Amino acid sequence: MEIKENLSVIKENINKACRQAGRNPEEVRLVAVTKYVTADRAEEAIEAGIIHLGENRDEGLAEKYERIGNKAVWHFIGSLQSRKVKHVIDKVSYIHSLDRLSLAKEIDKRAEAPVQCFVQVNTSGEVSKHGIKPEETISFIKACSEYPAIQIAGLMTMAPSTDDTSTIRRTFQRLKELKEEIQGLGLDHAPCTELSMGMSSDYMIAIEEGATFIRIGSSLVG
Ligand SMILES: *Cc1c(COP(=O)(O)O)cnc(C)c1O
pLDDT tens string, the chain, 222 residues long: the values are: 799 999 999 999 999 999 999 999 999 999 999 999 999 999 999 999 999 999 999 999 999 999 999 999 999 999 999 999 999 999 999 999 999 999 999 999 999 999 999 999 999 888 777 899 999 999 999 999 999 999 999 999 999 989 999 999 999 999 999 999 999 999 999 999 999 999 999 999 999 999 999 999 999 998
- Comparing CA positions, the residue from 187, 188, 196 lying closest to residue 121 is 196
Q: What distance in angstroms lies between residue 214's CA and the mean position of ligand 1's atoms?
A: 9
Q: What distance in angstroms lies between residue 185's CA and the mean position of ligand 1's atoms?
A: 30
CA distances from 148 to 18, 94, 131, 142 (A): 35, 16, 22, 12
CA distances from 97 to 4, 16, 119, 201 (A): 29, 28, 6, 20
Tell me what pLDDT residue 153 has: 98
Contact 167, 176 (CB under 8 A): no
Tell me what pLDDT residue 70 has: 96
Q: What's the whole-model pTM score?
A: 0.97
- Comparing CA positions, the residue from 179, 215, 216 lying closest to residue 194 is 179
Tell me what pLDDT residue 128 has: 76
* 72 vs 1: CA distance, rounded Å: 22
Q: Which of 9, 35, 76, 195 to mutate to test the pocket of ligand 1 (most atoms within 8 A of CB)?
A: 35
Q: Which of 76, 77, 129, 157 to mutate to test the pocket of ligand 1 (most atoms within 8 A of CB)?
A: 77
Nearest CA to ligand 1 atom 15: 78
Q: What distance in angstroms lies between residue 186's CA and the mean position of ligand 1's atoms?
A: 31
* 168 vs 194: CA distance, rounded Å: 19
Q: Which domains does the chain have, with CATH numbers?
A: 3-216 (3.20.20.10)
Angle between the N-to-C axes of helices 39-47 and 58-68, in degrees from 0 to 180, rounded to the nearest 10: 50
